[in-house]
A and B are shown apart, each in its own frame.
Chain A
Amino acid sequence: MHPDVALVARVRDGDTHAFEQLVRQYDRQVFRIAQHITQNREDAEDIVQDAFLKAYEKLDQFQGNSKFSTWLIRIAVNESLMRLRKRKNARTVSMDEDVQTDEGFIPRDFADWSPNPEQQFGQSELADILRKTIQGLPEGFRSVFVLRDVENLSTEETAEMLGLSVPAVKSRLLRARLQLRERLSRHFKQAKGAPEK
């Protein structure tokens, strides 16, 4: 049995410390997802609060056949999408907004990267590069990439949470990955004539 199941049972019995434990376990993940989707720090902070509060209030709807973390992420994604729509002032916003239906994305940069490219950068410099790079993705691609690749959800779970079909998730994931790759290549590719270590 997953330890979260026991914690949830204790919360149901009125043990708020058990809930605090769940909050501390997943707050970083909820914040990360919210920040990635909304690209807005204030929203992300609000979403962390709202998502946990909702989870607490709706705990009777949580069924042990899914993981608590997946259930919580679903709530957080919902909250994030809601905020996003609100900010965009309900302009025809849907996850489909930024998708062209042509065949997609053709790689252009074929330079190989150095063996451990991320090690050429300090931690905060690297985080900066990764943040700026993913911010440049269309939001419908970014959400798919984050749920599928960063949070490691399945294609089906990602599709369900974002209200997309499985094929749509797959095609966005491909394009998100290729676009990120292309952009990171600028930073990570092996400098020509650089001495091998």
Chain B
Amino acid sequence: MTCKEFLAQLTDYFDGKLAADLEAEVRTHMGKCGHCEVVVNTTRKTIEVYRNNEVYEISPSLRERLCAAIMSKCKGKKPGCSSEE
């Protein structure tokens, strides 16, 4: 397996969706190829760091303002009564 072929399997590998023989090949490649091993570990970390850290904080005051705006627009309307369709 070349590095390029390895990369092509990366997404399915992360999802645990590789067939057993292909997964074995992927693991063998990683064992032999330091570059791909680093790519796997740091890519996994990349996903984790985005998942665990809030990139766009929304302030409590903005939340209150938006919530109030939404609720005031909903008042006087019945839920689930879209005129479309």
Residues of A within 8 A of B (CB): 11-12, 14, 16, 19-20, 23-24, 27-28, 31-32, 35-36, 44-45, 48-49, 52-53, 56-62, 103-104, 106-107, 110-113, 117-118, 123, 126-127, 130-131, 134, 145, 149-150, 152, 155, 170, 173-174, 177-178, 180-181, 184-185, 188
User: Interface residues of B, CB < 8 Å — how many?
Assistant: 40
List 30 interface pairs A-B (beta carbons < 8 Å), by A numbering: A12-B79, A19-B71, A20-B71, A27-B66, A28-B58, A31-B56, A31-B58, A31-B66, A45-B62, A48-B66, A56-B70, A57-B77, A57-B80, A58-B80, A59-B79, A61-B82, A62-B80, A103-B4, A104-B7, A112-B38, A113-B42, A123-B53, A127-B55, A127-B57, A130-B49, A134-B50, A149-B51, A174-B7, A184-B42, A184-B46
B43, A16: Cβ atoms closer than 8 Å: no
A32 to B69, CA, bound (A): 18
Asked if B34 is at the interface of the complex by the 8 Å CB criterion, the answer is yes
User: Taking CB as reference atom, which chain B residue is nearest A171?
Assistant: B11
B42, A185: Cβ atoms closer than 8 Å: yes
Partner of A49 from B34, B70, B78 at Cβ < 8 Å = B70
A180, B46: Cβ atoms closer than 8 Å: yes
A174, B80: Cβ atoms closer than 8 Å: no
Asked if B35 is at the interface of the complex by the 8 Å CB criterion, the answer is yes
Contact with A along B25-58 (1 / 0, CB 8 A): 0000000001100110111011101110111111
B34, A110: Cβ atoms closer than 8 Å: yes
Asked if B20 is at the interface of the complex by the 8 Å CB criterion, the answer is no
Q: A107-B35, A110-B35 are in contact. Are A16 and B56 (CB under 8 A)?
A: no
Q: A12-B80, A56-B79, A110-B35 are in contact. Are A184 and B49 (CB under 8 A)?
A: yes
Q: A107-B35, A110-B35 are in contact. Are A177 and B43 (CB under 8 A)?
A: yes
A53, B73: Cβ atoms closer than 8 Å: yes
Partner of A58 from B4, B42, B67, B82 at Cβ < 8 Å = B82
